[in-house]
Amino acid sequence: MYSLEGKAIKYSARTPVITRRTLIGATTFSALVILGIVSYLLVREYRNTEADARRSALNIVQLINRDIRNTFSIYDSALINLIDLLHTQALATLPAQTRQSLLFDRTNEAPSSFGFFVLDAQGKLIARSKPVVSVPPNATQQPWFSAQQNSTRDELFISHPYLASSDSPEWIIYLSRRLVAEDGTFAGVAVGKLKISYFQNLFRGLDIGPSGNISLLDTDGTLMLQYPPTSKISIGQDLSQAPNFRRFLNERFGSFIAMSGIYHHERLYTFAQVHDLPIIVVVAIAASSIFSNWQHTALVIGSVTLLLCLGLLWLTWLLIRELNLRLHAERDLAALASTDPLTGLANRRTLDRALDLEWRRAQRTGCPLSLVMIDIDHFKAFNDLYGHQAGDEAIRQVAAVIKTHVRRPSDLAARYGGEEFAMVLTETEAANTRLLCEKIRLAVEQMPPVLPEHKKLTISLGSCTRYAKPGETQDALLSAADKALYQAKKAGRNRVVNINETGLNAVKPPLV
């Protein structure tokens, strides 16, 4: 196709099969698909990592839970057996050494025991497992004594941690059971002392990662133990107001990730209350250690994916650039194939294609079509006299005048061959065609000479305006315009001859 824009002819190359928009869209879609797949896989791996950490922590909690329950069950059985033996009348008749051995026989099974002893209702010592076992002063004011004294239920009491003595770093827990007289009144307590170090040794073999810890909490919020110990928290500290503790207490069993109010980083908390005991086991693992491998993997995969997407975009940019270069080359080739290199006007092939197209369009629409043939007067003599370079310049100047006057996008000006030109004017009546031809003729006549010593140039124009009849070809229009040009030259040149003014009337045919 052709069009006229100002003084220059605009040519369109073949539309490429793969357009730049299609390529950009396909690349963007591919990049999004890649990012979506990688993101899905990373999120799934993140969740799997978290799930594995939860399962591992839960296994640790269950292991600790079972061991604590068994340990306290052993202590409780030893206390119950001790109380039962104290109620046996036959035991009083036995020698003191035998009586001592029988009373505390079951206590030897208790792990990490710091000793057992029995007090009466006034807090006086009745018996103890070993002479070295100490009894705290003011025993009746101790929680493990007063709780049993004020209780009517026969159950195990577990105290908060205490230092074994003022000069000992050993922490212990008191476990007590109530002694009942024959009339049902309070008769004293049987007490066992459990070393906290037992649980520290138990926890030492468990892998909880860097910055992780295991805690034992009383249901009232008192910290019974944390392993490994840190300077930020100590045994016996009250944690009842901590948000995480309230969740431990309310849910009793579970797992969640939350910010630590003490260590100020995210942790995975897995917790469970030990059966019916007032003890909560908490395993806290630093989120950074859980996801460290995932973060490294995500960084590597993310970097590779980013490089892949950037590479894809770079290749797309290269391909788009090549497509643009190819498109520009095709346009340049199309322009070269359609344009006369000397004048910049359309060439003969473009003229033939345009004339055929406009003729068929005129047949469909019933609008008039005009063809103008132009010839530079006495050009051969001019060319022989002044040389080919002057002749070429003369052709260029005449072509420039024609370009200036042919402004409509639907019209076409072309070099027909040698010093001849042609114009195709669509939907133009004979009078308007003649008016345009006169303007062009006059403009050429008024041009300054190619060189001061040269003669002025003139042109002859022959035009034909007619309606395209069905079944008729454009050859009739071309022949009539050529005939008009011949008549203009025969009549003396430097003039316009329209075929409609020399005997042929343009009669509009009926539309079929």
Contact between 357 and 367 (Cβ < 8 Å): no
- Look-up: residue for tokens 């220059």? 8
In a domain, 268, yes or no: yes
Q: Scanning the structure block, which residue is given the tokens 């503790």?
A: 245
506 in any annotated domain:
no
Q: Per the structure, how many domains does the chain have? A: 4
Checking phi first, is residue 188 left (phi over 0); if not, alpha (psi -120 to 50) or beta? left
Same domain (yes/no): 376, 439: yes
Comparing 101 with 381, the larger pLDDT belongs to 381
The domain boundary residue, chosen from 206, 228, 259: 206
Clarify whether residues 257 and 183 are in a common domain. Answer: no
Same domain, 496 and 363: yes
Residues 91 and 229 in one domain: no
The domain boundary, picked from 230, 258, 289, lies at: 289
Is residue 465 in a domain? yes
Which residues face 464 on adjacent strands?
Answer: 371
What range does the domain containing 202 cover? 111-206
Q: Is residue 105 part of a domain?
A: no
The residue among 206, 238, 262 that closes a domain is: 206
Place of tokens 């296994």: 59
Residues 23 and 119 placed together within one structural domain of the fold: no
> Are 364 and 445 contained in the same domain?
yes
121/180 same-domain check: yes
Alpha-carbon gap, residue 463 to 353, rounded angstroms: 19
- For residue range 436-457, list pLDDT tens digits in order: 999 999 999 999 998 888 888 9
User: Are both 199 and 120 inside the same structural domain?
Assistant: yes
Residues 39 and 72 placed together within one structural domain of the fold = yes
The neighbouring-strand residues paired with 216 are 225, 281
Quote the crossing angle between the two packed helices 292-338 and 348-365, to the nearest 10°.
Answer: 90
Task: Say yes or no to pLDDT of 10 above 60.
Answer: no
pLDDT tens, 165-187?
A: 877 788 999 999 999 988 889 99
CA 188/CA 176 separation, integer angstroms: 10
Question: What sign has the CA pseudo-torsion 103, 105, 106, 111?
Answer: positive
Out of 12-16, 97-101, 225-229, least confident range: 12-16
- DSSP letter for 499, please: G
Q: What is the mean pLDDT of the chain?
A: 87
CA distance 368 to 410: 13
Per-position b or e across 465-504, b if 16+ CB within 10 A of its CB? bbbbeeeeebeebbebbbbbbebbbeeeebbbbbbbeeee
Digit-coded pLDDT (tens) for 183-218: 889 999 999 999 999 999 989 888 888 888 999 999
How far is C-alpha 27 from the chain's CA centre?
15
Verify cis geometry, omega within 30 degrees of 0, for the bond prior to 228: yes
Q: Are residues 59 and 183 in the same domain?
A: no
SS3 call for 106: helix
Residues 199 and 64 in one domain: no
Binned at pLDDT 50, 70 and 90, residue 92 comes out as low
**Helix (H) and strand (E) counts in the chain:** 12, 17
Residue 396, in any domain of the structure: yes
Q: Is residue 119 in a domain?
A: yes
Half-sphere exposure of 24 toward its Cβ, with a 13 Å CA cutoff?
Answer: 7
- Which pair of tokens denotes residue 97? 């050494």
**Is there a domain that residue 5 lies in?**
no
Distance linking the first and last C-alpha atoms of the chain: 27
**Within a domain: 141:** yes
Instruction: Give the helix ranges, DSSP H, for 180-230.
Output: 197-204
Look at residue 43 and give its three-state secondary structure: helix
Contact yes or no for 460/375 (Cβ under 8 A): yes
Label residue 12 by pLDDT band (50, 70, 90): very low
* Predicted TM-score of the model (pTM): 0.63
Alpha-carbon span 213 to 221, nearest angstrom = 17
Query: Exposed, middle or buried, 164 (CB in 10 Å: 0-12/13-18/19+)?
Result: middle
Q: What CATH number is associated with residue 155?
A: 3.30.450.20
Full DSSP string of 395-431: HHHHHHHHHHH---TT-EEEEEETTEEEEEEET--HH
Q: Is the pLDDT of residue 8 over 50?
A: no
Rounded to 10 degrees, the C-alpha dihedral 299/300/302/303 comes to 110
* Residues 478 and 386 both lie in one domain: yes
Q: Tens digit of pLDDT for each residue in 286-298?
A: 998 899 899 999 9
Tokens encoding 190: 């049987």
Q: What percent of the chain has pLDDT over 70?
A: 93
What pLDDT is attached to residue 357? Answer: 93
